[in-house]
Amino acid sequence: MKIKNIIKTGLAAILIVTATGCEDFLKEDLKNQLSPNNTFTSTYGFEVGSAGLYALTRAEYNTWGEDDAYMHGNACPYEALHVATDIVEAINSDGSLTNFANLTLTAEERFVGSYWNWAYSLIASANEILIFSEKNTNWDSPSDKVRFQAEARFFRAYAYRTLIYLYGDVPYVETILYDFQLNFTRTPKAEVLEHIIDDLDFASKNLPENPDNVKDGKLTRWAAYHLLSEMYLFQKEYVLAEKAALEVIDSKYFELMKTRYGVNKSKPGDVFSDLFIENNQNRKGGNKESVWVLQLEFNTIGGGTNSTDWTRRAWIPNYSGITGFVLADSLGGRGIAQIIPMKWWIGTKGTNLTDDIAGIYDGTDIRNSNYNIKRNWYYNNPAQTALYGKKCNITEQTWFSTKQLFPALTKFFYGRSENLSLSGSYRDRMKFRLSETYLLLAEAYLGQGDTQKAADAVNEVRKRAGAKQVNAVDMTMDYLLDERIRELVGEESRRFTLVRTGTLIERVKAHNSTIKDKISERDLLWPIPQSIIDSNRDIVFPQNPGYK
């Protein structure tokens, strides 16, 4: 997969990226020697540009490159949005996450810059499509223009969402920057958020309606409504957030998966584990819960590479370093344990640890079943006859020192038997699913003080999990945040959730012993990349408070 980048640099990060594509336009076979002026002259040309937007969006998870649309240049960028929160620690990391986890960030940190650059790359590409769509008159169908504009505005909103969560006030750009610019100013976050909502409102009215009529991975208006609900919550417009979430839920196009389905439905497991089995993410695979799925499938043009989405590697123990173990696809393949789960929520059940921590799951909650959290590990190397088949205990050392064995989320178990050392996940990723829409709805009801309706929304998710129903009297923000862990841990951007709900500092103080006495208001934002400040020579570009 190759993408032709036409770069006109301003603010050292705002890129004009022209992507090209073929076939179904999600499976990029990208051509060279194209420019906006000779590409955006027909519906086909805009399909080409649209493919580039999807490719850039997927590349949010890219690590080292391998011809992906964008690269962060180090391991596990997405997990930087999980450390320094209430769910994981980064112990003995290779260094890519250490400063994020320890709150020792500087403006020169790699992911601080690469997330900024990724977001503005996506914004520039979206702006290009929007501007050239106004110039083009050669459409196959009268509806093509507004459809491409809706896609572009969704992706622009998606990128600005990342920017305001991480950096606060950021420059708002909605044109093509052909000349180098040295005098950017920071647009207030509230104003950027209004632009995001305007874009998503447009997308929600103009993207395709029926998810059965689009190709896997393509946007529908329901993805826009889902994200619109989240952005209204960020704005504290709780009634509007409720309305947007209900648009998705009441559309009747989606349902929580409650019975076994997919490729392993006749094998041991449960319906929650089915969601994360290869080929079970998309609607055509029987999944009616997914609202938007990023296409990262194995060995497919336009899918994942060895450097795409290392979430699996980040969450899986480095078990193969223990004598008696060999790499196995049934154990998730080659894990490196960049992050490890905290005891307080996952519990110590089934380990050899002396402290008895129950965790946050009810006894009947299938999300805590052995199919979804692996706590029992057995030596699997037949060459080690004295060990083979025996249980290997999880200890304080294997969990918090060597990171070779700990309770692990099987939603990220994914190896390839033909090459167990493969790095990438190679499986489509559910970006939005209906269970989260229900939890956004509950957040909207909590914001309105209606704990009964909030409980009702949460209970829809808990019914599927076979968990005890929550009562209105117990329905608090803390409970909702715990429920998001039970349902979405590792999938949601945990930092975004805690920043949006205004709970990052209190949740860290309650659950993250490493930094509980260190976290402050400064840490609600990342620093502005130093390269951006240095390049903006004609006007002072202020750093976020507390950073040098």
Nearest residue to 398 (alpha-carbon basis) of 457, 448, 466, 348: 348
Q: Give the start-end residues of each E strand in 64-207.
A: 88-89
Q: How far apart are CA 351 and CA 357, in angstroms?
A: 10
Exposure of 109 by Cβ count < 10 A (0-12 exposed, 13-18 middle, 19+ buried)?
buried
> What is the helix (H) or strand (E) element at residue 374, kind and residue range?
strand 373-374
> What is the helix (H) or strand (E) element at residue 508, kind and residue range?
helix 504-511
pLDDT grade for 425, boundaries at 50, 70 and 90: confident
b/e 18-41 (16+ beta carbons within 10 angstroms → b): bbbbbeebbbbebeeebebeebbe
Q: Using one digit for the tens of pLDDT, what is the confidence trace for 124-156?
A: 999 999 999 999 999 999 999 999 999 999 999
Rounded (5°) CA angle 276-408-491: 45
pLDDT at res. 486: 98
Nearest residue to 32 (alpha-carbon basis) of 41, 21, 24, 16: 21
Q: Within its chain, how far is the Cα of 78 from the centroid?
A: 7
pLDDT at res. 30: 40
Of the given ranges (36-45, 128-137, 299-308, 461-470), which has the lowest mean pLDDT? 299-308
pLDDT at res. 1: 29
What average pLDDT does the structure give for the chain? 91
Six-digit token string for 262: 């997919």
pLDDT at res. 515: 98
Taking the model in full, what pTM does it have?
0.93
Q: How far apart are CA 49 and CA 540, in angstroms?
A: 35
Residue percentage of the chain with pLDDT more than 90: 81
The residue with greater pLDDT, 508 or 9, is: 508
Distance of CA 225 to CAs 232, 240, 243, 249, 315, Å? 10, 11, 9, 10, 30
Mean pLDDT, residues 252-258: 98
Contact between 281 and 304 (Cβ < 8 Å) = no
Q: How far apart are CA 89 and CA 77, in angstroms?
A: 15
Of the given ranges (11-20, 347-356, 397-406), which has the lowest mean pLDDT? 11-20
pLDDT grade for 179, boundaries at 50, 70 and 90: low
The residue extents of the domains of the chain are 311-414
Distance of CA 333 to CAs 252, 388, 421, 425, 440, Å? 37, 18, 7, 10, 33
Q: How far apart are CA 52 and CA 54, in angstroms?
A: 5
Q: Using one digit for the tens of pLDDT, what is the confidence trace for 188-231?
A: 999 999 999 999 999 999 999 999 999 999 999 999 999 999 99
Pairing of strands 373-374, 340-341: unpaired
Q: How far apart are CA 464 and CA 521, in angstroms?
A: 38
> What is the helix (H) or strand (E) element at residue 17, kind and residue range?
strand 16-17
The one-letter amino acid code at 513 reads: S
Six-digit token string for 510: 């309650």
165 has a pLDDT exceeding 60 = yes
pLDDT at res. 218: 97
Mean pLDDT, residues 31-48: 82
DSSP state of 411: G
pLDDT grade for 6, boundaries at 50, 70 and 90: very low
86 has a pLDDT exceeding 90 = yes
Q: Give the start-end residues of each E strand in 200-318.
A: 290-294
2 has a pLDDT exceeding 50 = no
The one-letter amino acid code at 166 reads: L
Q: Using one digit for the tens of pLDDT, what is the confidence trace for 266-313?
A: 999 999 999 999 999 999 999 999 999 999 988 787 788 888 899 999
75 has a pLDDT exceeding 60 = yes
Of the given ranges (15-19, 147-151, 209-213, 391-395), which has the lowest mean pLDDT? 15-19
Name residue, tokens 């909030």. 454
Q: Using one digit for the tens of pLDDT, what is the confidence trace for 333-369?
A: 999 999 999 999 999 988 989 999 999 999 999 999 9
Q: How far apart are CA 141 and CA 44, in angstroms?
A: 11
pLDDT grade for 185, boundaries at 50, 70 and 90: very high
Pairing of strands 290-294, 373-374: unpaired
pLDDT grade for 34, boundaries at 50, 70 and 90: low
Mean pLDDT, residues 375-380: 97
Q: Within its chain, how far is the Cα of 402 from the centroid?
A: 27
